[in-house]
Each structure stands twice: as C-alpha cells, then as structure tokens.
Structure 1
Amino acid sequence: MITLISSLMVFLLVVMIHEFGHFSMAKLSGIQVNEFSIGMGPKILQKETDETKYSLRALPIGGYVAMEGEEEHSENPRSFNNASILKRMAVVLAGASMNFILGFLAFTLIFSIIGYPSNFVNEVIAGSPAEIAGIRSGDIILETSNQKVKDLHDLNQIIQNAKNNSIELKIKRDDEIINLKLTPEFSKENNRYLIGINTELKHSIFKSIQYGFTRTIDMIKVILQSLKMMFSGSFKMEYLSGPVGVVQVIGQESSKGFLNFLQILGLISINLGVFNLLPIPALDGGKFFFLLIEAIIGRPIDERIEQRITLIGISLLISLMIYVTIFNDIGRLFK
C-alpha cells in the first residue's frame, strides 16, 4: 500500500509540474487553454472557468494541456497555431524545463538537509592513498596541485582530472602547513578515482543550491550517456523498466525515508524531462522538431503528414512500453 501511495505521489508530482509548465507558458504567451488535466480517463473532479476547465482524472498515468488550435487548425487569434513560432517553441519546451527545475529543487533540498562535504577531513580509510601519504582526521585540505580547495567537490574534480598521476596537497594541521604528495587509486565499485577520505558535512543554502544544480546536470549527462549506449547497441534492453518496474523502485526507495523519496522524485522527474525532449513524434521533442522544420522552410508541415508520423511514434512508444513491461518488469517479479 505504501509502495502504491508513494508511486502515485511521485507520478502525480512529476506529471503535474510537467503539464503546469506547458499551461503556464501558454497563458503567458496569450494562447487559449481549453483544459488543464492531471490524469487520464474518467473525470473525478472538474472546475470550469470562463476559458479553462481544470480536471482531475481517474488514471494517474499522464495528463495534458488542451490548447485551442494545437491538434487542428483554428481561426481563433489566440489559438496555438496562430501564435508565433518562438511562442510555440517556448510552450513545447516548458514541460521538460519544469521537470528539470523539480529535480533541481529535490536535490537542493536533500543537500540542505544532509549538508555538503567540506574540505575538513573527518575520516581516513585504512590502507588508502591518503593514509599512506600521512593525511589525518582533522586536517584541512587547502590546495591541490596549486588549485584552491573549498570543498570535496573541488577536490574530486582535481582527482578525476589527475587520474592515476600524483597530486600535491597543501594541508593545514592545527597551526602548521604541511605539503604531501599522493597518487589516486581507481575504484571499480565507485567507477572513479579516490584518495580514501570522508569529509565533514557542513550546511549552507548557497552550497546546497550549487550542489543541487551540479547533481541535476550530472543526472542529465548520465541519462544521455545511457541513451547513447542504447542506440549504439552497448546498452542491454533488460536494464530498462516499464511502469511496473518504476512503481517497484519508487516503493522500495520511498520506504527507506524522506530523503530517498526526494532522490527518486528528482531522478524520475529528470528522466521524464530528458525523455520528453527526444526528437520522437508524439513527444515534446518531436513537436519541437516539427516547429524547427517550420521555422527553416517558412511554413508548417502538412497536417496529415504530421498526424501520420505522430501516430507511428505513439505506436512505437506503446509497443516498447508493452515489451519492457512483459519481458523486464513482470520477468523480474518471478526471479
């Protein structure tokens, strides 16, 4: 039950913020919005204003913003098809942008709660390059190879750039400045170079924002790398998850506490943002691609051609979802 509730909360938050992006940008652009719906299928609640219907529907598997003139031609001067190309592009991209913002806020809140790793050494791992070089608990790392170190993020960047080449450390120990040299070691478990220290966690809203932004960018890069591997054939289809698998993961992570809930919320939101920007018909990226072609050739693509291509895109996406659900999600349940 907790798994289901957690999954519904994540899906609703991610979908709601995505659709709110389209909705708010359409309103700001002066485009008429006929309906703003969270969920699909039968209506549970609906409130109607002079222009827009606000709906909550039974199936929490999506949502939509129905704009005048989006699916078919309209003579209404405030219709989507009569808006400028830049306004239409902004509306299409606003959904994914809001997903990135939600992910950023989730990660920023995590760092605000747990703190960020500083340059104050809290623990030295036994047998690590740091211990061999003579680093001790309580040391403050000031510089690495003549580059100032303000926190562990700065140190890690220098370590990853150095790889297995030696680096010089300037350390403050009590009132003494000490110079040490060590060589990072590659950790297969962490898939990066390490020197073997843990640092004290500190709290700062500005640092939390910085770390939240960095984590968001890192997640986008990881997702894009996975997509690149998928199209190159080096990414195995068995690693993909459909709705059943996603619900299972959300439930497992959410049961571990609020921080894990925020973590999975950020990951799901950023995944949705990146996926929606792929140039696949029926997705926001596909719509943006059509608008880009229109901007280049100076006229819209034939409506019938666009509808046929979009239908093919929808069919392929549904087929992929069914395949992943049957052969991956359900298959894992019986292992």
Structure 2
Amino acid sequence: MYTLIVSIIVFGALIFFHELGHFVTAKLCGIKVNEFSLGFGPGVFSVKKGETLYSVRVLPLGGYVRMEGENEKTQDPRAFSNKSVPARMAVIIAGPMMNLVLAVILIAVIGFFAGVATTKVTVIPGSPADISGIEDGDVILAVDDRKVGSWDETVSLISQRPNQTLKVEVLRDGRKMAFNVKSLVDPDTKRGIIGIKSVIIRYSPLQSLMSGIQKTLWISSMIFTSIPQLVGGKGVADLVGPLGIVHLVGEAARVGIFNVLYLTAFISINLGLINLLPIPALDGSRLIFLVVEFLRGKPVDPEKEGLIHFIGFALLMILMGFVLYRDFVRLYM
C-alpha cells in the first residue's frame, strides 16, 4: 500500500507539472481552456472555476488540457487554432519544458538537504591521486583534456578508464596544474578509480540550484545519446512501463525519500525529452505540424493531422500494452 501511495504521488507530480506547463502558457496566450484533467477515463472529482473544469480521473497514467478549437474549427478568437503559430508552439513545448523544470527543482532540493558534490576534492592517502601529486582542496577542471563541470562528469570519465594513465587538470590556489594518474580497478564495480572524494556543500540555495541545472543537463545528454540505440533496437529490453516504474518507486521508497525524489527527477526528464520526439500523438509531432504550417503559410488539413495522431496514439497504446505485459511477466511470474 505504501508503494502504491508513493507511486500515485510520483505519477501525479509528473502529470501535473507537464499539464501545468500547457495550461499556464495557454492562459498567458489568451487561449480558452475548457478542462484541466489529471488522468483518463471516468471522473473521480471535478470542480468548475470560471470557464475551466478541473478534474481528476480514475486512470493516473496521463492527463490533458482541453483547449477551445484544439481539434476542431471555430470562430472563437480565443481558440487554440486561431492563435499565431509561435503562440501555439509555446503552448505545446511548455509541457515538456515543465518536466525539465520539475527535475531541476527536485535535484536542487536533494542537493540542499543532502549536500552537493563539488569538483573540489579530498585525496585518499596512498591512492594513485595522492602519489601523483593531487592534494586536498584541488578543484578538478578536466580529465584527459575533457572539461568537467560537475562531480558526476568527473566520476563518469574516470570510471570509464580503468587501468589507464589519465591526465587530470586541477586548479590550486589560482594556478592550473596537470598530473598523470594511473587509475585502478574497483573490485566491486570493475570501473576506474583514482582515490579522490568530493567536498560536499550543504544548505546552499545557489549551489543546489546550479547542481539541479547541471545534473538535469547531464542526464538529458545521456538520454539523447541512448535514443539512437533505442531506435535501432538496442536497449529495448530495458524499457519499463507503469508496473515497472511502480516497482522502481517501491525500491527507491525503501531506501529513502531522496532516492524517490531522484528517481522522479530522472523519469521527469525522460518524459519531457520523449514528448519532444517527432512521434505522432506526442508534443514533438504537433510541433512538426506547426513548423510545416509556418513554412507553407497555411495549416495542414485538420482531418489528416488528426488521423496521423490517432494512428500514432494507437501504436503507442499497443507498445504500452506490450511493455505492461513484459513488466507483469518479469515481476510476477
């Protein structure tokens, strides 16, 4: 029950922030919003304020902002379809962007209370870093001539190079210095290590916010590099659906609240970036249609666009069913 409650909160936060982006931007652009819904299917709760119906529905697997003239022609000057292309693009892109904003906020909260790992280091006595001449208080600037902006980047570069001689550039008392460090192999992870630890900074709003932005960008770059592999069929076995996510949330909840927040941030980044892909029924596809409209000076036939989105939605539902089935087999059989 605890896992279910935490999972509902996680799904709710992801959906709420995504739809909030669409909703707020639509309002700012003067678009009439008929409904703001969390979930699909039969309604559980609803209340109408002004011209907008706010509702919660039984299936917490998505949500929507239903705008006037979004899928039909109308003469209402406040209809979505009657607004400029830039305004409509802003409304569409705001949803995925809010998922990235949510990730920044969650990672910043973690950093504020748990501490932010910086590239300033302490050195383990007798380690390769110590032997090479790196000292406590040095700030790592680059590894093998690749600049690093965060501790995660530093660890990633070093861990990929076990049993190799690395060029590590540091900043010490305002001077840049470079050292050749022979990495070791961690016996547990089989990854490269050189014997340094990050200096942790706690309760710093600015440092926490910067960490949130840096980690969100870093995770986004990792996801972007994995998308071509996914399209090519590699990594499909690692896909998880709602059941798999619930399982992951349960595992994270047993470890602690920070793990739940970080997992939520990671899922939110995935959700935001995937929604920007040019896949029919997703926000990215709608952006493509708006770009085409901007270039040709007139919109694509709404019926044709609607058909493409419908087919895309149907294919996504088939994929969702496949992933759900595989999650069920993997977790319960």
Q: Cα offset for 1:182? A: 2.9
Count of residues in correspondence between the two structures:
324
1:223 Cα deviation (Å)?
1.4
Contact 1:184 1:194 in 2 (8 A): no
- 1:141 aligns with 138
Aligned to 1:243: 242
Q: Distance in 1 between matches of 2:182 and 2:212?
A: 26
Q: Contact 1:280 / 1:313 at 8 angstroms: preserved in 2?
A: yes
The corresponding residue for 1:286 is 285
2:150–2:214 contact (8 Å) kept in structure 1: no
Query: CA contact under 8 A between 1:107 and 1:266: conserved in structure 2?
Result: yes
Q: TM-score, normalised by structure 1?
A: 0.86
Which residue of the partner structure matches residue 330 of structure 1?
328
Question: Where does 1:35-114 land on structure 2 (aligned, <5 Å)?
Answer: 35-114=35-114
CA distance in 2, matches of 1:143, 1:54: 50
Shift of 1:309: 0.8
Could you tell me which runs of 5 or more consecutive residues in structure 1 were left unpaired when the two chains were aligned.
none
Q: What CA distance in whole angstroms lies between the structure 1 residues aligned with 2:26 and 2:171?
A: 54
Structure 2: distance between partners of 1:322 and 1:125: 54
- Structure 2: distance between partners of 1:155 and 1:333: 33
Shift of 1:144: 6.0
Contact 2:11 2:61 in 1 (8 A): yes
> Which AA in structure 1 matches 2:246?
V
1:1-335 to 2 correspondences below 5 Å: 1-118=1-118, 121-124=121-124, 128-133=127-132, 135=134, 139-141=136-138, 153=151, 156=154, 164-167=165-168, 181-185=179-183, 194-203=193-202, 204-233=204-233, 235-327=234-326, 329-334=327-332
Question: Which amino acid is the alignment partner of residue 259 of structure 1?
Answer: F
Mapped partners of 2:269, 2:141: distance in 1:
33
Any idea what SS the aligned residue of 1:70 has?
coil
TM-superposition CA deviations, 1:181-238 (whole Å, max 9, x none): 33253768879764221133123221211111010001111111221111133x2321
Asked if 2 retains the 8 angstrom alpha-carbon contact of 1:152 and 1:199, the reply is no
How far apart, CA to CA, are the structure 1 residues paired with 2:198 and 2:243? 38
Q: Is the 8 A contact 1:31 1:68 kept in 2?
A: yes
Compared with structure 1, are the counterparts of its residues 32 and 100 closer, same or farther at alpha carbon in structure 2 (3 Å cutoff)?
same
Specify the SS of the correspondent of 2:138.
strand
Separation in structure 2 between the aligned mates of residue 331 and residue 59 of structure 1, nearest angstrom: 22
Give the conservation status (yes or no) of the 8 Å contact 1:2–1:255: no
Q: Structure 1 residues 169, 63: closer, same or farther in 2, change over 3 A?
A: closer
Q: Which amino acid aligns with 2:254?
A: S
Instruction: Tell me the TM-score normalised to structure 2 length.
Output: 0.87
Evaluate the alpha carbon distance shift between residue 308 and residue 241 of structure 1 in structure 2; reply closer, same or farther with a 3 A threshold.
Answer: same
Counterpart amino acid of residue 181 in structure 1 = F
Amino acid at match of 2:297: G
Structure 2 counterpart of 1:333, one-letter code: L
Render the CA deviation track for 1:278-323: whole Å, top value 9, x for unaligned: 1011111111111111011111111121111111101111111111
- Alpha-carbon distance change, 308 to 169 in structure 1, aligned in 2, over 3 angstroms: closer
Q: Structure 1 residues 169 and 294, CA, compared in 2 at 3 Å: closer, same or farther?
A: closer
2:211 maps to amino acid: Y
Residue-by-residue CA offset, 1:152-195 (whole Å, 9 max, x unaligned): 649939976998443465757xxxx9x88332537688797642
SS of 1:140's equivalent in the other structure is coil
Distance in 1, Cα, partners of 2:189 & 2:26: 44
- Alpha carbons 2:122, 2:137 under 8 Å: kept: no
After superposing the two structures, state which structure 1 stretch, 81-90 or 38-47, moved more.
38-47
> 1:47-83: CA deviations, max 9, x gaps?
1133111112222111111100001111111000000
Residues 142 and 150 in structure 1, CA contact (< 8 A), matched pair in contact too: no
Compute the RMSD of aligned alpha carbons.
Answer: 3.2
* Cα distance in 1 between the residues matched to 2:230 and 2:156: 30
How far, CA to CA, are the matches of 1:143 and 1:312 in structure 2? 50
Q: Deviations over 1:134-167 (max 9, x none)?
A: 556xx2215768x9x9996499399769984434
Amino acid aligned to 2:138: I
In structure 2, distance between residues paired with 1:186 and 1:211? 28
Which region of structure 1 is more displaced relative to structure 2, 68-77 or 224-233? 224-233
- 1:73 aligns to what SS in structure 2? coil
Instruction: Name the CA distance, whole Å, in 2 between partners of 1:27 and 1:205.
Output: 30
Q: Residues 78-119 of structure 1: CA distance to partner in whole angstroms, max 9, x if unpaired?
A: 000000110000000010011000000001111111222346
8 Å Cα contact 1:133-1:180 kept in structure 2: no
